[in-house]
Chains A and B, each alone.
Chain A
Amino acid sequence: MRLAAAVLSVILCSVAGHMRAHKSEMRQAAVDEFLNDIRQISMQIEFTSDPICIIIDKISKNSKLRPMWQSFINCLNSGMTCTLAWHDVSESHDLMSVLQDEEKDGLDNFFSTLGQTDKSTEKKNAEYVYKLLGNISERRKTAVQNEKKMYKSIGILAGIGVAIMII
């Protein structure tokens, strides 16, 4: 019985460690996806004269963030401004919970200017957010690998520690 409890505790703590490591990885993946999509939005704004709905629809076709962009388009089609639509999407999508304040603020600033200012300002804001997310992504590339190893190792060690206590 004790042995079973010890094995279960090792498994549970290891799984908890892996889940936390996966969350770090998801954050990095989300930042990279946003980076790619913001770049495409910026290029669409610069080289086309399509409205925001059409631009977002175009980029959502090849994006891993498609469900989120679709919700954004639905909010825009219901008459919301970009700011309100983005606010609505960021509150309701689980993906946004893995991002930190730095990234969220940058994205909030970007979407608050969409459809509100002229093309050159929108392009400048898009470039700013692109560089911000790019810096964050570069900074975190090595840190994410270390964090993943750390959380997995600490999870397994905690499980073994609990198992020792039980046995």
Chain B
Amino acid sequence: MEITLIFKIAGIGILVAVAVQILKQTGRDEFGMVACLAGLVVVLMLTVDVIAELLNHLKQLFNLY
């Protein structure tokens, strides 16, 4: 796993936090929720390969199906 993935996730987390705060201050809480969900989806998209690799390793390690 590359270290850049961690930095990307951290960067997206910080941006989402700042965006949510800005949207809350202007009274658009629902858009803040949308921004949170969007950030979550982006991070999941970034990590789906890594999670798949983890599951493959577990499958090989425990000789599962």
- Contacts of B46 on A, CB cut-off 8 Å? 165
- Contacts of A63 on B, CB cut-off 8 Å? none
Assembly CA distance A149 to B25 (angstroms): 11
Chain B, interface size category, equals: 10 to 19
Assembly CA distance A160 to B42 (angstroms): 14
Do the beta carbons of B22 and A164 come within 8 Å of each other? no
Chain B interface mostly:
helix
Annotate A126-152 by CB proximity to B: 1 below 8 A, 0 otherwise: 000000000000000000001101100
Assess whether A154 is interfacial by the CB under 8 Å rule.
Answer: yes
Chain A, interface size category, equals: 10 to 19
- Contacts of B28 on A, CB cut-off 8 Å? 150
Minimum distance in angstroms from B34 CB to a CB of chain A: 11
Assess whether A157 is interfacial by the CB under 8 Å rule.
Answer: yes
Annotate B1-33 by CB proximity to A: 1 below 8 A, 0 otherwise: 000000010011001001100110111100000
Total A-B pairs, Cβ < 8 A: 34
Assess whether A153 is interfacial by the CB under 8 Å rule.
Answer: yes
Assess whether A106 is interfacial by the CB under 8 Å rule.
Answer: no
Chain B residue nearest in CB terms to A147: B26
- Contacts of B42 on A, CB cut-off 8 Å? 161, 165
- Contacts of B27 on A, CB cut-off 8 Å? 146
Could you jot down 24 A-B contacts, CB within 8 Å? A146-B25, A146-B26, A146-B27, A147-B26, A149-B22, A149-B26, A150-B26, A150-B28, A153-B19, A153-B22, A154-B19, A154-B22, A154-B23, A157-B15, A157-B19, A157-B22, A161-B12, A161-B15, A161-B42, A164-B8, A164-B11, A164-B12, A165-B8, A165-B12
Sample of 10 further A-B pairs with CB below 8 A, known A154-B23, A164-B11: A147-B26, A149-B22, A150-B22, A150-B26, A153-B18, A153-B22, A154-B19, A161-B15, A164-B12, A165-B46
Name A's B-contacting residues (CB within 8 A). Answer: 146-147, 149-150, 153-154, 157, 160-161, 164-165
Name B's A-contacting residues (CB within 8 A). Answer: 8, 11-12, 15, 18-19, 22-23, 25-28, 42, 46
